[in-house]
Structure 1
Amino acid sequence: MAADQLSAAQSTALGVIAARRGELSDWCATIFDFGETAWREYRSAEWYVARLRAEGFTVEEGSGGMPTAFCAEWHNGDGPVIGMYAEYDGIPGNCQAASTRREPRAGLGFQAGGHTDPHSGLGIAGLGGALAVKAAMERHGLKGGIRFTGEPAEKVRGSKPIHAAKGYYDGLAAILSFHPFYMLPMCNTVRWETHCGAGWSMVYRFLCDRPEGWGRSDGAPIPQSHSAIRAPGANDALNLMFLTSKSLRDSMLSHQGGWSISEAILTAGQATADNQPAGLAELQYMIRVPTIAMAEAVTAALDRNAEAAAAMTGCRWERHWVCKSRPGLANHAMARLVWDAMQRRGAPAWDDAAAAVAREIQANLGLTPMDDPFIPEMSRLIEPEAAEAILRRDLAPSQTHSTSDDYTDMCWHAPTARFYVARPALRAPEGFAYPAWVMNALGGIRATIDPMVERAAEVLALSALRILEDDVAREAAWAEFRTRTGGGVGGSEWVPPQCDYAPPIHFRWPEYVNTPRGHDWWIPSAMPGA
């Protein structure tokens, strides 16, 4: 197949996406409305499994020991297998309706889960691309297959390190990774050389098992049982860990170049009465760094802080891994292949209905609606090398990676391209910043999010079919992969999976619950004064 023209199979795939445009829109709205969060995406995963089976895929549910993950396969004889995937987790505290004003989805409060990036559009774009490739392969007799994985808990870098360690990316000819635009200049472009770095996350658990022994050098019990509250307990251990680590943050990791340490309290309290010290408290950390060595150093410092906090409060401590993802690996041959597909289709286009939605949001915020309410970067492509140059303006010459994402774990198992398609974003008057709910809403309103989903599905389909049909392009990607890894998987420069832990599914991750009040968020939606 010549690189300068569409093949018959690629033309077929574009026709399939156009014909299924209405279904893609409905599906995207469905996942957006589920609004489920990390490790608790039960309805979303169930929906994908049912849809993929209906489309002729064989699906393994609960892949890698993760209840909300899956691995779907479809083959049309022996041949190259393309890796694609869906993400579908949202974030607590971002419940937003597909509306032009700030309001939660029906029956919920603002603290419930919601899609921000949005992974609802990411996943359906991936599904649309995979179904178009399947249809084209069937119609034109192309040999090979598709492996489509369901990746839960991306917001805590959850599933991909586990899938990688358990072999779910092995044997693939190439992997295509799409994400909605979330920062400039990475909008309607492909990552070139500077890929995302490592991301390590863990939960520190503090347990106060013997409060009755607090303050007694002989280990004898406190005389009066109600005096046990004198024991500091797990909440105090968590507080000491939280504050100590904040005060030492610059010593553990200098905040420059996009690297960071952040924390979230998962569990606090667990006392059964006012005069009982807290028996359990859990604090989660996320480390975003360019190298594994830096992640190990920060982890050692956090371990020391946890040990000190536990010793001062009469507790014991445990560290449980949430993720250990590797830094990314570039592949210029794959990036150029996907860039060719992006140039064929161009940037997404938003119509008058989308502009009307944007103006209504501006009016509801008290702004004067703009004739052209969207940022100009949405409607133009940027060459990967040009985006790379802009990205590196603020980076030290020695810095090899920037920010963090877990697609990087895929890069070490097959040639991988990471690309970004514009999602809707509004122009702002000078000195004004839009509240977060605006981007969340635009990710759920059909008129504003559907153009991104359709364009990303097209780029995925064209790229996958190019890999299947173009032996020269496929071998070029593999030649570069072997060079960069020192011989391929297991080579001298290859970084093996860092995952040496079980899926962290048993923690108190925020989730939806069914109670006598009905379907509710774990923080009751009908809160006084809400």
Structure 2
Amino acid sequence: MDFTERQLEAIGIVDDLLPDYSAFHREIWGYAEPAWREYRSVAAYVAKLREEGFEVEEGSGDMPTAFHATWGSGGPSIGLYAEYDASPGASQETVPYRQPREGLHPWAPGFTDAHSALGVGALAGAVALKRTLERAGGGATIHFFGEPAEKVCGSKSVHAAKGYYDPLDAAISFHPLSDNTVVGELGGCLYWSAVFTFECTDDEPWLTVDRFDSAEASQHNSVRSPGAVDALALMISTTKATRENMFPRTGLWSLNEVVLGGANATADNQAPRISQIQFSWRSPLVGIQEQIYDVLARCAKHVAGITNTVASVRWVTKIRPALPNLELARATEEIMTSLGPPARDESVAEFGRDLERALGLPVSEQPFLGVLDTITPIEVRDARIRETIPPWQDCTGADDYSEYSWHAPTVRFFTAKPLLKQVPELSHWSNNAMNGLAEAIDPTWVYGAKIIAATALRLIDDPALLAAATEEYATRFGAAPEEYRAPMLPADFAPPVDLPWPEYVTTARGYEWVLPTTGDLGERL
């Protein structure tokens, strides 16, 4: 396709932004703050947006590390977003050998699937779009969201429930990944997450024989409640034992758990008072999601009875499966193909070969996956995924971008970042090292920014495309199950920002990686 003058102008603006935004990317990469705790990252984004002339609502949706920035008026309302949360346990310096970042705990956070590049690419695309509209005229409204906690699919379900996406006419979702492609029919599945808390209140005494329950008895050898640690251990083992009874293996679904901090360590002679465990599960159908939760809740109630604790549950998120839009997907694919994958300096390949040497692998002339330099057509991507799922399943994986797709026509695309072909796992330290290397990662987000700006301008300047995408959206929305048409969280949902998510803090001992105190424990089971 031939680009319009306005599209060419926006593409050129992205190139002009590169030096400044490369440094900005390195700044966000250096913060590496995890879910719900991206304080320095969000402050940097807000400052950048205000400098550019956007109006910014900080703390949107009652989430301290979220924001909603707007610019312009009239015309189509285009939704874009940044993510900037890192993954605990993934700290890695930009060096071709295993080395967590200096001065931090080895299991501090780092970027695995490059949310640092995702956010900066989206911001560069939004700024290029704004400057083009500002210079050339043409009404449009840009809505740019700061979306924290994507690693637990946290913020977009909240923004959706509170009405932030309702004004949108279209939305564009970008993510660095393993190849250059646009999502077609097979988007993300449902993802739900909840934190179960066990508290040992001793409201019901565990020992009922008076003779052995006296003030004279030693606290160190008297009978005590099993308490919250036992509850945690039993919850883990019980849910492992019942997993095969949660739902039959007729489709692809998964359940994962992680333990939150409990603050019991300095009172070993007392019944541990509190423990918390987060469960997150993905599947293609709401019925599967409900069945899994039902089993989890039953396990928690029985565990509480065994351990003399009370159980509570606090929801983290509930997201819906993605609603595809092929009209918009094909338009974006045309832009991606016309731009073509970006070139990278030979120094990136040499860095990759150094990584192979550090891993004891054969050294390759071309160390990266071949898809880095190609574009995977929509139909090829869909066919590749279709081979791995049952015929009745029409979604895969999970990402909360899908919440946008229920409010407006939404396109989702990926741009490739370098991945070692001999170690292609996104979370492997060797690939994380390249996420901080400007020569390796900048082309990934620059490509994404150009596609974002050019796609948005096509939507603004081509009413027929927007009308076709909107018609498809309305048709698919009308045919969708009733339970997906409204957000799955209530409008008054309190985001779980007060739970003990890990974070960086400054104490008398310096800058540390710690767990904060807990807050609202949710509903008693």
Offset of 1:311 from its aligned partner?
0.4
Residue identity in the other structure for 2:511? H
Post-superposition offset of 1:435:
7.9
Match of 2:122 in 1: 126
Cα distance change of structure 1 residues 358 and 235 upon mapping to structure 2, 3 Å threshold: same
Partner of 2:239: 245
Is the contact between residue 213 and residue 221 of structure 1 (CA under 8 Å) also seen in structure 2?
no
SS, match of residue 377 in structure 1: helix
1:265–1:494 Cα change, 3 Å: closer
Aligned partner of 2:523 in structure 1 is none
Q: Which amino acid aligns with 1:498?
A: M
Cα displacement string for residues 230-272 of structure 1 (whole angstroms, at most 9, x for unaligned residues): 3100111111111000111111134564420000000235264
Matches within 5 A, 1:426-465: 426-428=420-422, 436-465=428-457
Describe the superposition over 1:404-456 as per-residue Cα deviations: whole angstroms up to 9, x where unpaired.
11111111000001111101111229xx9898101111111111111101101
Change (3 A) 1:517 1:351: same
Whether 2:399 is the aligned partner of 1:414: answer: no
The 8 Å contact of residues 240 and 309 in structure 1, kept in 2 or not, is answered as: yes
* 2:109 is equivalent to residue 113 of structure 1: yes
Aligned to 1:203: 195
Greater alpha carbon shift after TM alignment, 466-475 vs 267-276: 267-276
AA matched with 1:333? E
Task: For 1:148 and 1:404, locate their aligned partners in 2 and report how far apart those are by CA, in whole Å.
Answer: 22
Matched, 1:373 2:363: no
Stretch moving more, 267-276 or 143-152: 267-276
Give the secondary-structure state (helix, strand or coil) at the position aligned to 1:164. helix
Name 1:475's counterpart in structure 2. Answer: 467
Q: Does 1:72 align with 2:82?
A: no
CA distance in 1, matches of 2:244, 2:373: 40
Q: Which residue of 1 aligns with 2:21?
A: 24
SS for the counterpart of 2:276 is: strand
CA distance in 1, matches of 2:65, 2:312: 25
Checking the alignment, whether the CA contact within 8 Å between 1:228 and 1:275 is kept in structure 2 is no
- Which of 148, 151, 155 pairs up with 1:159? 155
Count of residues in correspondence between the two structures? 511
**1:178-327 alignment to 2 at 5 Å?**
178-182=174-178, 187-210=179-202, 213-216=205-208, 224=217, 226=219, 227=221, 230-254=224-248, 257-268=251-262, 270=264, 272-327=266-321
Partner of 1:99: 95
Q: For the residues of structure 2 that align with 1:64 and 1:228, how far apart are their CA atoms?
A: 49
| Structure 1 length-normalised TM | 0.92
2:77 is matched with 81
- Hey, what's the Cα distance between the residues in 1 that align with 2:440 and 2:248? 39
Q: Tell me which residue corresponds to 2:41.
A: 44
CA separation in 2, counterparts of 1:235 and 1:156? 24
How many percent identity over aligned positions? Answer: 41
Q: TM-score, normalised by structure 2?
A: 0.93
TM superposition shift of 1:358: 1.1
Specify the alignment match of 2:142 in structure 1.
146
Does the Cα contact within 8 Å between 2:83 and 2:147 map onto a contact in 1? yes
> 1:499 matched to which residue of 2?
489
Q: Is 1:170–2:160 an aligned residue pair?
A: no
Q: Does 1:521 align with 2:513?
A: yes
Deviates more, 1:117-126 or 1:499-508: 499-508
State yes or no: 1:392 paired with 2:386: yes
Is 1:423 paired with 2:417?
A: yes
10, 13, 36: which is aligned to 1:13? 10
Q: Which runs of 4+ in 1 moved over 6 A?
A: 432-435
State the distance in 1 between where 2:495 and 2:24 align.
Answer: 28
SS at match of 1:91: coil
SS in 2 for 1:385: helix
Higher mean C-alpha deviation, range 206-215 or range 341-350:
206-215
Structure 1 CA distance, aligned partners of 2:275 and 2:415?
Answer: 40
- Residues 236 and 83 (structure 1), Cα distance of their counterparts in 2 relative to 1, 3 Å cut: same
Amino acid at match of 1:385: E
Q: Matched residue of 2:232: which SS?
A: helix
Q: Please report the RMSD computed on the Cα atoms of aligned residues, expressed in angstroms.
A: 2.1
1:468-499 CA-partner distances (Å, limit 9, x unpaired) = 110000000000011011189xx968521011
CA contact (8 A) 2:159 2:165 kept: yes
TM-superposed CA distance for 1:144, in Å, is 0.8
SS of the aligned residue for 2:376 comes to: coil
Distance 1:154 1:349 in 2: 29
One-letter code aligned to 1:146: I
* CA deviation after TM superposition for structure 1 residue 146, in Å: 0.7
CA separation of 1:261/1:412 partners in 2, compared to 1, >3 Å: closer, same or farther?
same
Contact 1:206–1:310 under 8 Å retained in 2: yes
* Cα distance in 2 between the residues matched to 1:433 and 1:69: 29
Amino acid at match of 1:168: Y
Secondary structure class of the residue paired with 1:507? coil
- 2:171 aligned counterpart, secondary structure: strand
* Unpaired segments ≥5 residues, structure 1: 524-530
Higher mean Cα deviation, 513-522 or 153-162? 513-522
Task: Tell me if structure 1 keeps the 8 A contact 2:320–2:484.
Answer: no
Tell me the CA shift for residue 101 of structure 1. Answer: 1.5
